Amino acid sequence: DYDPAYSQSHEPVRKQKTAEGHAVRAVYMYSAMADVAEEYQDKELMEACENLWENITQKRMYITGGIGSSGFLERFTTDYDLQNDSNYSETCASIGMALFSLRMANITRDSRYAEVMEQELYNNILAGIAQDGKSFFYVNPLEIKPRQCMPHTSRAHVKARRQKWFGVACCPPNIARTLASLGQYIYGVDGADIYTHLYIGNQTDIPVNNDVVQIRIDSMFPWNGNIKVKVQGVKEKIKLHFRIPSYSENFQLYCNGEEQELKVNNGYAYVEICENSRIDIQFDMPVAFLHANYKVSADVGKVAIKRGPIVYCLEEIDNGPDLQCIYLSSKEAHVRKSRSFPECFEIELQGRRLISKSEGLYSSDGLSYSDVNIQAIPYAYWNNRREGEMLVWIHEIIG
């Protein structure tokens, strides 16, 4: 019963246009394809990389960055097949997708690749490790009822809490490796052009021509969009490129205190400097309410909450059981410092809760609702307080 698509050997790589087979194996191979395409300037191979990346991000990837929806063979399935409570979305697959996107960003210098890389890092990858660093998720669902995660069922692979270790223990060390190598994701360099992909606070030395430029970024990103960049060691003209996130509003760039007219190329605002300089970047990150393509049957009539790169979710500890009975009824959102995770922001929303009039399994009784406050936390933080239900895609009441 072996299917060659499982190992991406069903046809020559240059002819592949859809992501097939084992998700981790696939994106590792695509990363290698991108490396070879760049090294040998192989346009046909690069076109295959672009096609595969587009297929994943536009038709086969969860809003959290999870890929590989099938628990059976840990694989891609078909376009728009993105069920939420039995998906696989292996942590290692998202790490591989970040590696693939990093290569595409540095090769093409197109910001959309860096944005997906950021989506992976802040959501599905970060969810794979507990806040104390001592337990891990191999599988990353977008909806969970702990009592339904039963052995010897179709949800046996889904765990209601992070595990201390696994028989096949690829994910824990892979997360450690990714966090330890986080610096490689922040910048891209092309001669005298320096690209800032991510606004993570850091201090680094970057070789530029025959000199070394020191860059320091101070920020509280992703919780606010106030970024301070200090550049030293500049002896010749260099060009600094700063990614304009698609979710940002009122993006402004200042050089040595003077606001710059935005010059943009492929989603990056750039400025040329000939001396040590201070760059200030400011942008707003309003709460966004996102809907999936209508072909994603699992998400029809539902909404997901996102602020900046962070996808939010509901947990039972904040909102009570039976999260599927909660409907979002207003787009008004109150962003505040979290009471449980001091370093992050949570979002308070208004909604309604479905009230059952009958205890029977099926009933012709009408529906009624009560008003409720909804509290949402970053998806990556779920299951850090206690075991319970979790939900990313929320029912929505129109009007």
Reading phi first (left if > 0) and then psi (alpha if -120 to 50, else beta), residue 22 is in beta
Quote the CA–CA distance of 65 and 18 in Å, as a whole number. 17
Q: Which of 20, 49, 74, 143 is catalytic?
A: 74
The C-alpha atoms of residue 254 and residue 256 are separated, in whole angstroms, by 6
Q: Show Cβ contacts of residue 210 under 8 Å, excluding neighbours closer than 6 positions.
A: none
Active site residue 170: yes
Beta bridge partners of residue 370, listed in sequence order: 353
Which entry of 170, 255, 325, 344 is annotated as an active-site residue?
170
Beta strands 238-243 and 193-196 are parallel
CA distances to 191, 199, 228, 324, 394 from 328, in Å:
49, 31, 36, 11, 7
DSSP for residue 385: S
Give yes or no: 348 in active site.
Answer: no
Distance CA 306, CA 240 (A): 28
Helix (H, G, I), strand (E, B), or coil: what is residue 288? strand
Tokens of 345: 């922001």
Distances 60 to 56, 72, 261, 309 between C-alpha atoms, Å: 5, 16, 38, 19
Strand segments, DSSP code E, in 166-237 are 187-190, 193-196, 202-208, 211-219, 226-232
Active site residues: 74, 170
